[in-house]
Structure 1
């Protein structure tokens, strides 16, 4: 059984461990879960990820309780079928999806997944990111899956819903993303729910000015039927190689629309200036499937501590090694080898 210290990590450390345990069949024990956070231990969104992993992996679980600082997880085999999980808060549906998706893919299992909760959460990949950046990148590596956003769920109300149909796929294939392809599409979308349209329009005005977008490259999406107010600005760049970069900033109380837009634009401009193939958000998501493939590389911006700790955890479960090489001028190469 693999022993993991969860003291310094957050929920992502737990979700990665669950995903790897399902992929490899290796049980693990984690102690001090989120021990340094203001609210340590397991929260509702983490428990839903544990529940999803337990269901898919027919696993035995100890410690899956609110506030628990320790968890023991022993999978017995991966199965698909029709599954539905409800977080009950604005906790991220996309993070629950990413907990079980690698194992379904790795084991060639078909599944129809429905997850209810938050779809646009500042602390997690947005549904836009999953649909426009993450899944297309996974498709390049061999995943056959489709995704639908049935309803938006903003923080703190939640109440959104995503669906993902996973078809039987071959094992992940290694890819090399050394150079960025030619950018063939750029678009800024301001998403609003139960707030004045002028807020989204102000965000789009900033995006047009900072990123030199044409009128047709910006749109306002007024969401109907969401459970509460919400706002997000999502900026997408797609290259001719099928790789996309998505930068998202979320509206907050007492933060101007202009400041919200500036955050997303600053991330986009940094990625554009570095000339790398993969943005920081997708870089985090590529580590696990590339490790499962046993090889691959990509260029990106400077790896965060979060990225490095995720890589170190993956190395505990799989016979692979990550390398991080500073190429200069903000450009890094991340590679994995067995």
Structure 2
């Protein structure tokens, strides 16, 4: 049996190498050997969240594996045939359920039948795309590519308590349609009509969220923006500020999770800074969504979008895709602040 060796220390050296490798291994039926897993992190190897990613990937295709345990820095993964159906994954910590989902979502999006997956764990931890991002930014674009994913949320889970629970129903497609997102998709001169400011607050004073909302609206000069402070019930205290810009195709979400010792005003200022950077570039896709669209575009075989300067996370993902699929997603700098990311036939 021949294994493709993938070095997990390359680029940003985090869990994205593992997740993309697992996804593409199943879709190409290529056996992979992952070494130096998460070597770029303070605590290397498989943590609970990453272990759940591997176990989920293993279950949906009946893979044969070796070395799959907590702390492991090397695994072997030999995929089998994909089986759509009902699945349930509980991380057991506040680790990101969204990243577990994004490991298997592209696979089940191209499966032969519908699937329903239930997740338990973290939904908003500040270190990874949140469930809000996944539902309102990522999934609408995947729907335009032919895949329908419907989310049902039972409870949210902030770091460090976790405790979130949600479900997604996936209606697959035979082939992903390409997307071309090279124009901004909204009128930045009249942005206040296409933006939103929302704060989620759980087991904390509601005025924290209100201060975040008020500060963000003032900094961005969004007096007419749709705004809301939403009280949610979670296992532990938490707060998430989400600034949204609606386009013709999707919503770009700029999110910061509140931290102990960081004022509401500081959280709002940081989030607004990301928004202003995006507005200045007049890009179509914000930085985190850019990273998540790479695998779908690679599977579609063609596509493009404009974004701000690609992160190390994004360039690493591009290299892993090239290694497994043999396709090269290109990046081209269009101005001081704008880049084009594209795949041509």
TM-score where L is the length of structure 2: 0.95
Partner of 1:209: 218
Counterpart in 2 of 1:298?
A: 305
2:195 equivalent among 186, 192, 199: 186
Q: What is residue 16 of structure 1 aligned with on the other side?
A: 20
Deviation at 1:16, TM superposition (A): 0.8
CA distance in 2, matches of 1:36, 1:204: 35
Contact kept? 2:61, 2:83, Cα under 8 Å: yes
Partner of 1:233: 241
How do 1:250-261 residues align onto structure 2 when only pairs under 5 Å count?
250-261=257-268
Q: Distance in 2 between matches of 1:305 and 1:116?
A: 29
- Kindly report the root-mean-square deviation, in angstroms, between the aligned alpha carbons of the 2 structures: 1.2
The 2-side partners of 1:272 and 1:148 are apart by 31
Q: Counterpart in 2 of 1:220?
A: 229
Contact 1:118 1:159 in 2 (8 A): yes
Using the alignment, how far apart are the partners of 1:196 and 1:331 within structure 2?
A: 39
Counterpart for residue 104 of structure 1: 108
SS at 2:157 equivalent: coil
| 1:68-120: CA deviation from partner (whole Å, max 9, x where unpaired) | 11011111111111100000000001001100010111234310000000000
Distance 1:106 1:17 in 2: 17
Q: Deviations over 1:285-308 (max 9, x none)?
A: 110000000011111101111111
The match for 1:320 is: 327
Q: CA deviation at 1:145?
A: 1.6
Aligned equivalents of 1:228 and 1:238: distance in 2?
Answer: 31
SS at match of 2:25: helix
Aligned to 2:134: 130
Give the aligned partner of residue 145 of structure 1: 149
* Structure-1-length-normalised TM-score: 0.97
Aligned to 1:287: 294
Aligned twin of 2:190: none
Which runs of 5 or more residues in structure 1 are unaligned? none
1:214 shift after superposition: 3.1
| CA distance, structure 2, for counterparts of residue 76 and residue 116 of structure 1 | 25
Conserved 8 A contact 1:172-1:293: yes
Is contact 1:185-1:237 (8 Å) kept? yes
Quick check: 1:4 aligned with 2:3? no
- After the TM superposition, which parts of structure 1 deviate over 3 Å for at least 4 consecutive aligned residues? none
Q: What is the correspondence of 1:60-139 to structure 2 with a 5 Å cutoff?
A: 60-139=64-143
User: Which residue of 250, 266, 278 maps to 2:273?
Assistant: 266
- Separation in 2 of the partners of 1:34 and 1:273? 34
Per-residue deviation, residues 196-224 of structure 1 (Å, max 9, x unmatched): 11111110111110122236611001112
1:23: Cα distance to partner?
Answer: 1.4
1:167 is aligned to 171
CA contact (8 A) 2:194 2:225 kept: no
